[in-house]
Chains A and B, each alone.
Chain A
Amino acid sequence: MSTTKRLSWRVAALASATALAASGCGSGGGSEDSPDDPITIGVSLPLTGDFSEPGKGVERGYKAWAKIVNDKGGLLGRKVELKILDDQSNADRVVSDYEQLIGRDQVDLVFGPFSTRLVVPSARVAEEYGLLFVEPAGAAPEVFTQGFKNLFYAAPAVANDHYNHLADHILALPEAERPKTVAYAAMDDPFAQGTAYGLKDKLEKGGIKTVVDEVYPPNTTDFGSIAAKIASSKADMVVGGSQYQDGVNLIVALQQLNYQPKMAAFSTAPTEPEFAKAIGNKTEGILAPTGYTQQADYPSNKEFVEKYTEQFGKAPEEDEANAYTTGQVVAAAVEAAECASQDEECQSKLIDWLRENEVETVVGPLKWDDKGRPQSAHMIQQWVDGEIQIVLPEEQKEADLVHPKPKW
């Protein structure tokens, strides 16, 4: 081996090692609480890559929360400061982000990332460092079976319970009106699949037959074959465990085949603002669960919608609301425990308090079971007269559920 070769390698290795060490030293060590220091809150979000769209929604929600809190004088008299990193929709990154936030940047608190796929690995980091982990997006059942003691999902219900009101409604219908066969198509994603399969389990228990059960990978763009299967089954009802664009594609493909079910329910997609335009306004009668409505008259929601609209020029959607809820939940715990720092005592106070108490949020009052599952339910919305309106449960409804659904 030549001298130059050896030299170049040695220099590079030394440089990188010292650079890492130096950059670590520079910003570490700011962990002592002092009343003037802001409370720093670390978040990793998918701002680029496959989950970037909802990731950016969550980011806006967090930013709105921070602004609203700071405008009112902060938490415990301290300003809050968000440190948001981009995990590129990648699990390796999300873990290393939380390592950085907790270890190097010494943030006082952390908020969860977006997407179930990223929540589990990052919750583990927080768990192992003993930090409270409230998250806005991990709704799939798997999130709550890992034995995490520090995790709380800041939304009304886990994925499998999203359709609970609809299931109850269908099973209560008179025999003649009740759909007899159902076709399910779900994206291979823990959240999307969870919503469809939650409904499937309940309907099957009620004796309603499953005739199609399709799972498609998240990168599916051509839904011709799946739609053909569903159309050919002539199922009375179709249920899509969808995110956004796949739901649109599936509906368009079904419409291309002129399939007319009596009932059609899709998660997420129909609640998006662009939905009607995307499917050419043929939305009549489509059902969707939602955890959030801008019209909800919870006191904090009015403030949220107003100030959010002021800040971003449009009204908040569900992702934004869930992020905001996360902020509200953590804030409630911080105010009750009167502390916000990484030390063990403080974090366990926060966790214990949330275990025992109910928090008022923009999605209503929330409380959790011992696994961190929220104990409320999602509302069911339906497109009626060209507008998406709440139809279930009875006490919150804005319109009556239309059944059977008109042709699309």
Chain B
Amino acid sequence: MAAVVAVALSFPSMAPSPYELTVGIAIVNYAVLSTSWNFVGGFTGYISLGHGAFAGLGAYTTALLVTKADLPSFAALFVSAALVAVLAVPVGYAALRVRGASFVIVSIALVLIMLLVFQSWSSFTGGSRGLVVPRPFPGMLRSEHHEVFYFLFLALLAVALLTWWIIDRSRFGMGLKAIREDEDKAQSLGTPTYTYKLVVFVVSATFTALAGGLYGLWFGDLDPVFQFSILSGAYMVLMALLGGVRHLYGPLLGAVIVGYGLEYSKLEYGDTPLHLVFAGLLLGVVVMFMPDGVIPAATGLIARVFKTGETSIREVTAAELREERGQGGAEPAPGSPGQKREVKQ
């Protein structure tokens, strides 16, 4: 762990040119975004494809607070995160009242409606003409500017990871994970599932907005088409899922793989739209074959190779058979403990 931190901290001094630093910033930004996404996705199992909207809102609100309300850049960043948190409450209210499918639909709709609003309301948002965010450190050289923001993003990542870790080991986190496993059951045991979901949704939106706002301050030019993009939300999901949503470092790992992969595939296969195909196939493969991400897949593989793992594959199959029955709602096939043991070997 210490080595990773050391590498992350010394990266700017190792980078041969500001370009590598911008790639580093992009990857850390991805990591913050997917970690933020994972507050909802990882704990509760609710997949949001619309977190791009919160990032865009964070960026735009920060920019508007700086340009229209003359707030200092970083005050604007925090005020903007607070405003997004407030907005996330009614969104979560609508999205979380019903389960699953409606949540996904609302999350996608959120990006699309924000895109429409920020395009149409051009007298306020600049619309398609774009919005320029004044630099927080005027007069700073571009490469220094990159370096400062690299560390700011790193700090935000640390805070997000710490928050995730605190929740993960808390009673609140226990309740959230119970929601992911079986929401009805969690309710029947006294977990106020709706409130839990709403709270963690707001936390997630807030961190996403902070990442978006910081990005806005760093990048400087906002355009609704790029800020409110469904694809950026999908990348968050891909990264978190690829790394493993149940693990603290899963989204971070996913961000490093996907971020580096995007950069690499662009260098290699630059000018074809095949990057969409790659992203699509990768997402499909992850969903079909390793929905728990590479961390468990890799540990599972190692465990199988060395035969040290606690779980055997056939056990999982037995459990899933039962789960299928649970979902199907048909009469339970009488499975006595004795029979189960046979399956378990």
Contact = CB atoms under 8 A, between A and B. Distances in A.
Interface residues of A, number: 52
B174 interface: no
Contacts of B122: 188
A4 B298 contact: yes
A85 B270 contact: yes
Interface residues of B, number: 53
A17 B7 contact: yes
Contacts of A17: 7-8, 11, 14
Contacts of B3: 10, 14
B182 to A, nearest CB: 26
Given A92-B219, A117-B223, A5 B17 contact: no
A390 interface: no
B331 interface: no
Interface in B38-90: none
Given A25-B16, A189-B128, A5 B295 contact: yes
**Residue from A86, A91, A103, A188 having most chain B Cβ neighbours under 10 A:** A103
B223 A12 contact: no
A90 B247 contact: no
Contacts of B252: 9
Given A12-B256, A14-B7, A188-B119, A99 B18 contact: yes
A104 B128 contact: no
Contacts, number: 136
Contact of A47 (B1, B249, B271): B271
A96 to B, nearest CB: 5
Nearest to A10: B4
A125 B219 CA distance: 10
Interface string B1-29: 10110011001001111111011101100
A357 B144 CA distance: 35
B119 A9 contact: no
A142 B129 contact: yes
A190 B119 CA distance: 12
A196 interface: no
A6 interface: yes
Contacts of A129: 142
B158 interface: no
A86 B18 contact: no
A16 B15 CA distance: 12
B221 interface: yes
Given A14-B3, A19-B260, A88-B275, A103 B219 contact: no
Contacts of A91: 221, 223, 226
A291 B220 CA distance: 31
A35 interface: no
A362 to B, nearest CB: 26
A12 B242 CA distance: 13
B20 A21 contact: yes
Interface in B268-285: 270-273, 275
A156 B266 CA distance: 34
A5 B248 CA distance: 11
B225 interface: yes
Nearest to B27: A16
A389 to B, nearest CB: 33
12 contacts: A8-B253, A8-B295, A12-B256, A13-B256, A16-B260, A21-B16, A48-B273, A91-B223, A96-B22, A100-B19, A140-B129, A142-B129
By Cβ-Cβ distance, the 9 closest A-B pairs, closest first, are A103-B17, A103-B19, A24-B16, A47-B271, A86-B271, A128-B142, A121-B221, A104-B19, A99-B19
